[in-house]
A and B are shown apart, each in its own frame.
Chain A
Amino acid sequence: EVQLVQSGAEVKKPGESLKISCKGSGYRFTSYWIGWVRQMPGKGLEWMGIIYPGDSETRYSPSFQGQVTISADKSISTAYLQWSSLKASDTAMYYCLRRTPTSSTLDYWGQGTLVTVSS
Chain B
Amino acid sequence: QSALTQPASVSGSPGQSITISCTGTSSDVGGYNYVSWCQQHPGKAPKLMIFDVSNRPSGVSNRFSGSKSGNTASLTISGLQAEDEADYYCSSYTSNSTLVVFGGGTKLTVL
Q: Could you tell me the distance between the alpha carbons of A109 and B44 in the complex, rounded to whole angstroms?
A: 10
Stretch at the interface among A67-75, A79-87, A97-105: A97-105
Question: Are the CB atoms of A109 and B91 closer together than 8 Å?
Answer: no
B100 lies within 8 A of A106 (CB):
yes
Give which listed residue, B45, B48, B103, B105, contacts A105 with CB less than 8 A. Answer: B48
Contact A45 B48 (CB under 8 A): no
- Do most interface residues of chain B lie in helix, strand or loop, or is the interface mixed? strand
Q: Is A50 an interface residue (CB 8 A)?
A: yes
B92 contacts the other chain (CB 8 A): yes
CB distance from B86 to the nearest CB of A (A): 13
The answer to whether A45 and B51 have CB atoms under 8 Å apart is no
Determine if A45 and B34 form an interchain contact, defined as CB atoms under 8 angstroms apart: no
Which of B91, B92, B103 counts the most A-chain CB atoms under 10 A from its CB? B91
- With contacts A105-B34, A105-B51, A106-B91 taken as known, whether A44 is within 8 angstroms of B99 at the C-beta atoms is no
Interface contact A109-B47, CB-CB below 8 Å: yes
Q: For residue B99, which residues in chain A have a CB less than 8 angstroms away from its CB?
A: 33, 50, 59, 99, 104
- Which A residues are within 8 Å of any B CB, using their own CB? 33, 35, 37, 44-47, 49-50, 59-62, 95, 97, 99, 103-112
